[in-house]
Amino acid sequence: MQKNEIKQDCNSIYRLCKYTLMMCALMAAGCAQQNSAPPRVKVQDSALYVERDQGIGTAELMQVAEDVLAGMYFTIEKADVQSGLIRTMPLPGAQFFEFWRSDNVGADNTLAANLHTIRRTVTLDISQKDEQLCIGCNVQAERLSLPERQVSSSARIYGIFSQSSSQLQRLKLNPDQKNEMAWIDLGRDKQLEAEILKRIETGIVRLSNHQLQTTESET
């Protein structure tokens, strides 16, 4: 009788330990699944939103954004972590033979850059909204306006835009044309804005996965 009671107690303890281990395993699996979840990132209205609980702050976002802009051959004019501002120097639009560049997004922009002198300036603004970090992207496009010089005959057609002669073509502008030269505002380049944000989103996911792999290797 006493042996049966001891056996029942042992079985009860065994089942309790078994259930406890199963619960611990399920909890561990749930935590691992939560840690390995991809970062919650979404693009909406020329802005990208990142959940703050992904281990990525303003400094990390700015580094990703700067890498993306540098990869598109933009030169950073200003990068301020405190204010979350990134601004580039104006970048002339890629020509048809510069196949390695990607700042002309869409057939219309590609055509315009090859017919006119186009330049674009990118401004990124990183701010906090509720529990999210928001990256606003503004790409301002401009076209060079070069006034024509009045010519008295068709024989002087070579001198319309520069100080050229029939024997030698020069790129030097006439003084009066240089004074009247101006950049015309073409508005925002929405297609390039979307492309930049898409690349930043890819960079954030890549950075998050790298951080996760580093954490798992350390543990």
Residue-wise pLDDT for 184-215, tens only, equals 999 999 999 999 999 999 999 888 777 666 66
Cβ neighbours, 10 Å, residue 55: 13
- The DSSP code sequence of 68-119 is HHHHTTPPEEEEETTTTEEEE--EEPPPTT-TT-----SHHHHHHHHHS-EE
Instruction: For the chain, give the percent of residues with pLDDT over 70.
Output: 63
Nearest to 66 by CA among 207, 218, 213, 216: 207
From the options 2.160.10.10, 3.40.50.300, 3.30.530.50, 3.30.70.1350, give the CATH code of 39-145+184-204: 3.30.530.50
What is the H or E stretch that residue 60 is in?
A: helix 58-71
Taking 60 as the threshold, does the pLDDT of residue 154 lie above it? no
Taking 70 as the threshold, does the pLDDT of residue 85 lie above it? yes
Q: Say what the pLDDT of residue 205 is.
A: 87
Going from N- to C-terminal start, the domains of the chain cover 39-145+184-204, 147-180
Higher per-residue confidence, 31 vs 174: 174
